[in-house]
């Protein structure tokens, strides 16, 4: 049993090491398509030049097998763990941390991890409670899905939370999201994906917003009311005229995604999390026998 567990732990570590670098070097096809479409429809000359430069940047990264952005971010993993997966979550975390360190040292990648107060480097993109891992446990399954979403500081700094008044309704949500993006301007490297989390509690709303940015661009929430709000916000945000890198233009965001949860009758938490144009993500499926399949979506 220990031999099997060790083999699977190594498989998870190898998967994490690959996912971190893959996400940083090879952006998803839906993002490439969205950037190309944005370039074609942008009418502002500065904005169009920015988008042409971004598309060229992606092409050069492909040809040189290099990073699309120098900010290697913080490694954030989401794990869907089957109840019958033969490796304890504590060992899964060990494997993810070891894989993150390996990827940082072997590539090599810039290490961003520092102590919150002293600002001293804490390791190869690891440290106390780093990498960040979110967990979901699935009954009646023996597999593991791992999604890696490296999050750079430029976009992460443009995160906002407001405990809206329920009486303000949908208009209150729209107003807060619009104010957040207008305040952000060009800081989060637009055009990117605006993730909105609504409901639950204060902390869960921000988690939902970060789940929203990891969806393929243009996918819509299964709830028709939420999907309608996604469409409305997408149109409103592009009417702000902020444009690529804040230089003005038609394309301020590539899309707006919303995740929601039911909440208390007197609560209406709303969180906004921005994902820059290099909306990086990569996923792996780890089977109970240790075999691994890599995919964009877990």
- Mind spelling out the 3-state secondary structure of 112-161? CCECCCCCCECCCCCECCECEEEEEEECCCCCEEEEECCECHHHHCCEEE
Q: pLDDT tens digits, residue range 85-118?
A: 999 999 999 999 999 999 999 999 999 999 999 9
- State mean pLDDT over 1-27: 85
pLDDT of the residue at 295:
83
Cα–chain center distance at 75: 10
pLDDT of the residue at 48:
97
**What is the spatial distance between Cα 213 and Cα 280, in angstroms, rounded to a whole number?**
10
Q: List the domain boundaries for the chain.
A: 2-24+69-150+280-295, 153-275
CATH 3.30.1330 fits 153-275, yes or no: yes
- State mean pLDDT over 141-145: 97
Q: Are 35 and 277 in contact (CB under 8 A)?
A: yes
Question: In which element (H, E) is residue 256 found?
Answer: strand 253-263
Q: Indicate whether this model's pTM tops 0.85.
A: yes
Q: Given a cut of 50, is residue 2 above it in pLDDT?
A: no
Establish whether domains 2-24+69-150+280-295 and 153-275 are of one fold: yes
CATH 1.10.3470 fits 2-24+69-150+280-295, yes or no: no
Residue 264 gets which letter from DSSP? -
Q: Are 276 and 186 in contact (CB under 8 A)?
A: no
Give ∠ CA 14-296-139 in degrees, rounded to 5.
75
């Amino acid at each position: 049993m220990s031999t099997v567990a060790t083999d699977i732990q190594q498989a998870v570590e190898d998967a994490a090491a690959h996912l971190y670098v893959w996400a940083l070097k090879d952006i998803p096809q839906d993002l490439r398509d969205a950037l190309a479409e944005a370039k074609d429809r942008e009418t502002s000359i500065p904005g169009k030049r920015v988008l042409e430069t971004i598309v060229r940047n992606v092409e050069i990264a492909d040809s040189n097998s290099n990073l699309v952005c120098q900010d290697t971010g913080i490694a954030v993993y989401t794990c869907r763990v089957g109840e019958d997966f033969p490796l304890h979550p504590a060992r899964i975390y060990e494997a993810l941390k070891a894989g993150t360190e390996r990827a940082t040292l072997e590539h090599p990648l810039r290490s961003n991890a520092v102590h919150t107060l002293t600002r001293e480097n804490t390791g190869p993109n690891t440290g106390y409670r780093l990498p960040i891992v979110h967990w979901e446990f699935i009954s009646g399954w023996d597999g593991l899905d791992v999604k890696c979403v490296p999050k750079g500081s430029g976009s992460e700094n443009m995160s906002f939370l407001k405990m809206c008044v329920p009486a303000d309704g949908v208009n209150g949500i729209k107003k807060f999201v619009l104010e957040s993006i207008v305040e952000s301007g060009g800081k989060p490297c637009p055009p990117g994906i605006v993730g909105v989390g609504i409901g639950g509690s204060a902390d869960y709303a921000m988690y939902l917003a970060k789940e929203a940015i990891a969806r393929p661009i243009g996918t819509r929430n299964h709830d028709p009311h939420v999907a309608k709000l996604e469409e409305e916000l997408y149109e409103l945000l592009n009417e702000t005229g902020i444009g690529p890198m804040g230089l003005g233009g038609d394309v301020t965001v590539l899309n707006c995604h919303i995740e929601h949860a039911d909440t208390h009758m007197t609560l209406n938490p709303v969180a906004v999390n921005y994902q820059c144009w290099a909306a990086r993500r990569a996923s792996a499926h780890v089977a109970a026998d240790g075999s691994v399949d890599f995919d964009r979506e877990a």
